[in-house]
A and B are shown apart, each in its own frame.
Chain A
Amino acid sequence: MPLFGKKKKETKAERPQVAVSQNETSYFGKNLRIKGRVSGNGNVIILGGLDGEFNLRGRVKVAQSAKIKGEVKADVISVNGSVKGSLAAKDRIHLDQTARVEGQITTPKLTISEGASFDGEISMNDRSSKPTGTRKTDSALEPPSTTAPTKKIDDR
């Protein structure tokens, strides 16, 4: 397989460059399946499958090919794919034309495009727009404090 060897060399040369460009948006490709919990600070685009939980400070984009079972908590959530479970945003949620959502939505601001399918409940209480007022939701949205040493790692 001569093609294979070539590819290997290319990837070796390219990769260090990828590491240098500090991309803040995580990207989970369409063939990637994750079971478990994704948390932290940053934006995420998911094209694959997630069975579990998103708990992020940032934006989550659920692309058309993505399938999520479980909970999604973030500042901003935009859905093009399918979600079974609950969506909770601090800021806003958008369901695009191709979205298929089954479950519960909690958000202060919501838009649903024509063509989107949504089967479930919506709760839009005004308190959640000011995160300091609601202690309960705040602690639930807070990622675990064990993520603290990121600064040290950064120095390297």
Chain B
Amino acid sequence: MPKDTSADSISLLSKNVRIEGEIQGPENLHVEGYLKGAVQLSGDIFIGNTGIVEADVEAKNIVIQGEVNGNVKAHQQLEIHPTGKLVGDCTAASIDIKEGAVFEGRSNMIKSSGTAAGSSSNSTSSRGPQIRKQPQPE
């Protein structure tokens, strides 16, 4: 799967446009409009201030500034900004929820797909504390 060749363009769903249906593909998507259905991307999804998403969303990184009603799954990071609202369950490798953000639902952590290989080495190093190889961009 040529997943890494994906993230070169950003698709935009502008404010007064709505999509009802399924969206998928190796793309980045910026939503300022209305989206209903299902979203499955191997790129990132950014839901802007005016964006409303009523769908289950799966993407690499998910950034929410607008509203999401549905279950989200981020293979890497989920970010909910102060203006953001998520009603639904989330699954992510890393979560960043800012002050003021709304999140109603359950949260479930997964291992980042990029660092999955590092977890197997933990079983051999039983002496010391386990070292988590999670990427920390800060």
Query: Chain A, 5-47, contact with B by CB distance < 8 Å: what is the 0/1 string?
Result: 1011101100100110011111111111111111111101000
Query: Chain B, 19-42, contact with A by CB distance < 8 Å: what is the 0/1 string?
Result: 111111111111011100100000
Residues of A contacting B29 in the complex (Cβ-Cβ under 8 angstroms): 32
Contact of A37 among B11, B19, B32 (CB under 8 A): B19
Secondary structure at the A interface, as helix, strand, loop or mixed, is mixed
Interface flag for A135 (CB, 8 Å): no
User: Which residue in chain B gives the minimum CB-CB distance to A34?
Assistant: B23
Instruction: Determine if B11 and A38 form an interchain contact, defined as CB atoms under 8 angstroms apart.
Output: no
Chain B residues touching A, range:
35 or more
Residues of B contacting A36 in the complex (Cβ-Cβ under 8 angstroms): 19-22, 37
Instruction: Determine if B24 and A33 form an interchain contact, defined as CB atoms under 8 angstroms apart.
Output: yes
Query: Chain B, 75-115, contact with A by CB distance < 8 Å: what is the 0/1 string?
Result: 01100000100000000000000000000000000000010
Interface flag for A154 (CB, 8 Å): yes
Given A26-B17, A150-B16, answer yes or no on A32-B33 (Cβ-Cβ < 8 Å): no
Query: Chain A, 119-156, contact with B by CB distance < 8 Å: what is the 0/1 string?
Result: 00000000000000000000000010001001001101
Residues of A contacting B6 in the complex (Cβ-Cβ under 8 angstroms): 31
Instruction: Determine if A9 and B137 form an interchain contact, defined as CB atoms under 8 angstroms apart.
Output: yes
Residues of A contacting B18 in the complex (Cβ-Cβ under 8 angstroms): 38-40, 143, 147
Residues of B contacting A56 in the complex (Cβ-Cβ under 8 angstroms): 17
Interface flag for B71 (CB, 8 Å): no
Residues of B contacting A8 in the complex (Cβ-Cβ under 8 angstroms): 61, 76-77, 135, 137
Given A8-B137, A11-B44, A15-B46, answer yes or no on A30-B14 (Cβ-Cβ < 8 Å): no
Interface centre among B6, B17, B29, B76 (most CB of A within 10 A): B17
Task: Tell me how far the C-beta of B9 lies from the nearest C-beta in chain A, rounded to whole angstroms.
Answer: 4
Contact of A48 among B19, B25, B114 (CB under 8 A): B25
Task: Tell me how far the C-beta of B85 lies from the nearest C-beta in chain A, rounded to whole angstroms.
Answer: 11
Instruction: Determine if A19 and B32 form an interchain contact, defined as CB atoms under 8 angstroms apart.
Output: yes
Interface flag for A103 (CB, 8 Å): no
Instruction: Determine if A37 and B33 form an interchain contact, defined as CB atoms under 8 angstroms apart.
Output: no
Task: Tell me how far the C-beta of A80 lies from the nearest C-beta in chain B, rounded to whole angstroms.
Answer: 17
Instruction: Determine if B11 and A27 form an interchain contact, defined as CB atoms under 8 angstroms apart.
Output: yes
Instruction: Determine if A19 and B114 form an interchain contact, defined as CB atoms under 8 angstroms apart.
Output: no
Interface flag for A52 (CB, 8 Å): yes
Q: In the complex, A35→B20 CA distance in Å?
A: 8
Which B residues lie at the A interface, using CB under 8 A? 6-7, 9-30, 32-34, 37, 44, 46, 48-50, 52, 61, 63, 65, 76-77, 83, 114, 135, 137
11 interchain pairs, CB-CB under 8 A: A8-B76, A18-B10, A19-B30, A22-B32, A26-B11, A29-B10, A30-B9, A32-B27, A33-B23, A35-B22, A37-B21
